[in-house]
């Protein structure tokens, strides 16, 4: 049985459309969204604030949020089928912390301060050693069952630290960070020349 020209033409169009759809499906990219675990540690909404106390001097400092977090989506790779990774940047008001950045691609949280300390948290992968620069590296992440700070008891506290070398005398500097889900940073300390300077959470109000 022979097909007429119109039938052949219709079949050809169908084959082209099917082939185009298949190729499109192959090129479809997948988006990796920030895990809920990461969000609970560092993604907060307007109305949130934190007041910290210098454990040595008693001086108070604070940070608060008055604008919603901003999300970005980065296409990594040269092909359309390469994944898209979600990240989130939150801007704070105040000098203690001025921003936090959550990156699903690296599975990491970075905190930044206007002060001399860059508040960077390790990737939440036990046993992972991450070299940032030749003179800096992260210690493994540990979980502390409970920790009392300013008469408040916190549970399931993540503790991480990184070591750096002073650009002035080459001495080691140890930065330690303590984080809790749905609260964020509850304590930060910096140890150099056997002098330990710590800031601990005094009061807070968190909106997620």
- Segment 60-79, tens digit of pLDDT: 988 999 999 999 998 877 77
| Pairs from 173-182 (Cβ < 8 Å, separation ≥ 24) | 175/117, 175/119, 175/120, 177/111, 177/119, 177/120, 177/121, 178/144, 178/147, 179/41, 179/109, 179/121, 180/41, 180/154, 180/155, 180/156, 181/37, 181/40, 181/41, 181/156, 182/40, 182/206, 182/208
In this predicted structure, the answer to whether residue 116 has a pLDDT above a threshold of 50 is no
Whether pTM exceeds 0.85: no
Q: Domain limits at 72?
A: 5-205
pLDDT score, position 115: 54
Q: Higher model confidence: residue 12 or residue 169?
A: 169
Number of domains observed in the structure of the chain: 1
pLDDT score, position 206: 96
Q: Higher model confidence: residue 44 or residue 96?
A: 44
């Amino acid at each position: 049985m022979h097909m007429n020209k119109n039938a052949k033409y219709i079949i050809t169009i169908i084959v082209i459309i099917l082939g185009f759809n298949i190729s499109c499906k192959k090129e479809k990219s997948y988006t990796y969204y920030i895990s809920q675990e990461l969000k609970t540690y560092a993604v907060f909404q307007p109305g949130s604030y934190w007041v910290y106390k210098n454990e040595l001097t008693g001086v108070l400092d604070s940070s608060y949020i008055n604008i919603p977090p901003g999300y970005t989506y980065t296409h990594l790779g040269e092909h359309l089928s390469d994944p898209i990774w979600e990240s989130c940047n939150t801007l704070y008001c105040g000098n203690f912390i001025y921003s936090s950045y959550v990156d699903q691609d690296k599975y990491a949280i970075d905190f930044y301060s206007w002060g001399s300390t860059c508040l960077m948290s390790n990737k939440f992968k036990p046993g992972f050693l991450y070299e940032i620069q030749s003179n800096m590296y992260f210690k493994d992440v540990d979980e502390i069952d409970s920790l009392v700070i300013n008469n408040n008891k916190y549970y399931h506290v993540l503790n991480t630290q990184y070591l750096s070398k002073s650009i002035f005398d080459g001495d080691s500097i140890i930065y330690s960070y303590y984080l809790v889900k749905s609260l964020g940073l509850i304590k930060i300390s910096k140890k150099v020349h056997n002098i330990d300077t710590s800031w601990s959470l005094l009061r807070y109000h968190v909106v997620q």
